[in-house]
Amino acid sequence: MENILPCPDQELICINVDKVYDWVMKENTFDYFLAPSPLTFSGITSTTSLTDSVVSCEVTPAAVNPFVILRRENRSFMIDGCSVCLQQLTIQKNFNLVLYVTLANGTVLRGPTQTISRSEQVTLCAPEGTDVMVEYTDLDCIISSPGVPTLNTATQQITFTGLVITIATCQSIQSTYPVTVEFLADYCEPRADLAIGACPPPAKPAQCHAVYPD
């Protein structure tokens, strides 16, 4: 009689994954000086007044090419007594910026979407062939100097002179490369079915024990 061996509980599995070569969190804050050019705002009428108005902003990553690797240069560093070759990346970050003007009566005027760019350098293990991914864990902007706005109701435009915007970013920057790995894995078992009845049990209103009885 032939002996039948039981199936093993584990199996050697090969899968394709992205190996993380390096990973850094980088915080950066920079000022953007708005050019004194007329900007068209929706909602401006012949009676619009900028007296006691408040300027605010909204910044988001650009929909197209939110970041571009401009340069990748090899640099040698001494780390724990060993010479290590790392890469200095010059990364151009592209953002969409929108200005809002809240009038004294509560009306909000929305400006056009502007694209602004900022280049930064970061050093990490990212040799040629690796992919670099930048994700924002936090991205915000504030009006650090409102400047002097000039309103033209005829053209529905506002010109800001001396307006400064501070943009703060928290970034997760990873360099990765696709690899095939082998590991010993357990077989997955299906979960048990949930015991959900067709009819719910009778319910009663919740009581306020903290109030009554004392």
pLDDT one-digit tens code per residue, 158-177? 999 999 999 999 999 999 99
* Rounded Cα–Cα distance for residues 94 and 64 (Å): 9
> Does residue 189 carry a pLDDT above 60?
yes
> Does residue 198 carry a pLDDT above 60?
no
CB atoms within 10 A of CB 39: 19
Task: Say what the alpha-carbon torsion angle 120, 174, 64, 169 is, to the nearest 10 degrees.
Answer: -50
Task: List the chain domain ranges.
Answer: 18-177
The token pair that represents 114 in the structure block: 């502007």
The token pair that represents 89 in the structure block: 């990346």
The token pair that represents 154 in the structure block: 């005829």
Lowest mean pLDDT among 16-25, 69-78, 194-203: 194-203
Task: Say what the alpha-carbon torsion angle 196, 198, 199, 200 is, to the nearest 10 degrees.
Answer: 20
> Does residue 6 carry a pLDDT above 60?
no
Rg (CA), the chain: 29
- Report the pLDDT averaged over residues 57-80: 93
* Rounded Cα–Cα distance for residues 73 and 173 (Å): 17
pLDDT one-digit tens code per residue, 99-158? 999 999 999 999 999 999 999 999 999 999 999 999 999 999 999 999 999 999 999 999
